[in-house]
Amino acid sequence: MRDLSLHIHGETIESLFPLILSFGSLHSLFINSVDSHFNYDGNGVRVPPSFPLTQLKYLCIEARMFESGLKTLIMEQRNLEYLCIEYLTGDDVDLSSQSVKTLKLSNTWRAHKTYLSFSKLEFLDLSFSLSSELKLKQFHGDMPVLRKALVETSALSEQNVPMLRDILKSIRNVSELTLHIGKSYPKFIPSATHLPKLTSFDLFHPLVEPGRHMPVFPNLRSLKLSMCCYENALQDLICVLQHSPYIDSLHLIHVEGPDDRQKYQWAPEVWHSKLPLNSEGNRKYAHFSNLQTGDKKNEVIKLLSGENSSKRRKI
C-alpha cells in the first residue's frame, strides 16, 4: 500500500493508529476525524514510541493529536515534503523537519508557545485565532529559505499583538506574503461619562510597535494585506513599506471593525477605512503595482499617509 486516506471518528483513529503506522510502504497518508469539531471527547491520538512508517512524502492529519508524539513521527520522515496538521493538543507546539517544503498549520490556538524549525521550508500556510479569549505567549520560527507565506487570523486582540509580530519577524525573508488580519478588538473600555471621545489613534498598532526597531523585509516583492484600515493600522503598513526595499506589488482590502461598539466605547467612524478612494469611489480596497518604477513607491506612501490632511500623523 502506497496511499491511504481515512475519514473516520476520532475514537476509531485512536485505536487504529498503531496499525496505520505499521504500513512501512506508505508514501501518502491523509487522516480526517469527522468529529474533530463536535462529538469526539478524546484528548488526542497518541503516537506509539516506535513504528516502521518512514517513507512518507505527503502527510495530512486533521484530527486531535498529542504534539509530543507527532514531533517524533515527523522527524522520522526523511522524505516528507508536504505536511498539514490541524487540532493539535497541548500547551506548546514544537515541530521540526529537515525535508518538509510545504507546511500548513491551522487551529493550533491552544498552544501558548509555538516553535517551528524547518530548514527547507518554502511555503507556509498558517491559520488560527488571536482573539481575547486566548492567552498566547510566543512564536518562533527558524525557516531560512521560506519564500512564500499565507498568514490568516480570524480575529486579533490587543493582548495577542506581540504574537502576530513574532510571526512577522519569523517570516521576514519571504518574497510573497498574504496576510489576513480578522476583526480587531481593543482593550475593554469601561463606560464612563468623563471619557473623552476616542479616536482611531487610540487603537493599538497591529504590525509595528512604536519606538521599537522595525525588522527589514529584504526580499518582499508582493504583499496582499487584509485588515481594518484605521489610522494606526495604516501607519503601520507605511512603516512596513519603508522597510521593504524591493516591494513591487501591494494589494489592500479593508476588513470591517467589530460590531459591539457600545462595549468598547468607540465612535462608529473610528473603524472606517482610511484607504484612499479607489476607481469605484469607495475605500474598501486598493491595488498598487510597479512600485519599483521611478518614485512610485514614495508616491504611494504619501497617498496612504494623507500628507495633505492635517488629521493624519505618523508614528
**Model-level pTM?**
0.87
- pLDDT digit string, tens, across residues 267-305: 677 888 999 999 899 999 999 999 999 999 999 999 998
User: How far is the first Cα of the chain from the last one, in angstroms, to the nearest whole number?
Assistant: 59
- pLDDT digit string, tens, across residues 41-78: 455 677 777 789 999 999 999 887 766 678 888 999 99
- pLDDT digit string, tens, across residues 104-117: 998 655 567 889 99
- pLDDT digit string, tens, across residues 107-144: 655 567 889 999 999 999 998 877 766 666 688 999 99
- Average of per-residue pLDDT across 23-41: 77
Q: Please report the pLDDT score of residue 40 as a whole number.
A: 42
Q: Please report the pLDDT score of residue 157 as a whole number.
A: 85
C-alpha grid cell, residue 232: 494606526
Rounded CA-CA distance 235/206 in Å is 10
Rounded CA-CA distance 146/122 in Å is 4
- pLDDT digit string, tens, across residues 146-165: 999 999 998 888 888 888 99
Rounded CA-CA distance 300/274 in Å is 14
Higher pLDDT, 219 or 50: 219
Domain boundaries, the chain: 3-305
| Cα angle 275-178-116, degrees, rounded to a multiple of 5 | 135
- H-only helix segments in the chain: 10-20, 67-75, 161-170, 231-242, 261-264, 296-305
**What are φ and ψ of residue 9, in 5° steps?**
-70, 150
Q: Which residues are paired to 288 by β-bridges? A: 250
Strands (E), the chain: 3-8, 28-33, 58-66, 82-89, 92-97, 102-106, 113-118, 123-130, 138-142, 148-157, 176-185, 222-227, 249-254, 285-288
**What are φ and ψ of residue 8, in 5° steps?**
-140, 175
**Site of grid cell 526597531:** 213
Rounded CA-CA distance 315/302 in Å is 14
Q: Are strands 285-288 and 249-254 parallel, antiparallel or unpaired?
A: antiparallel
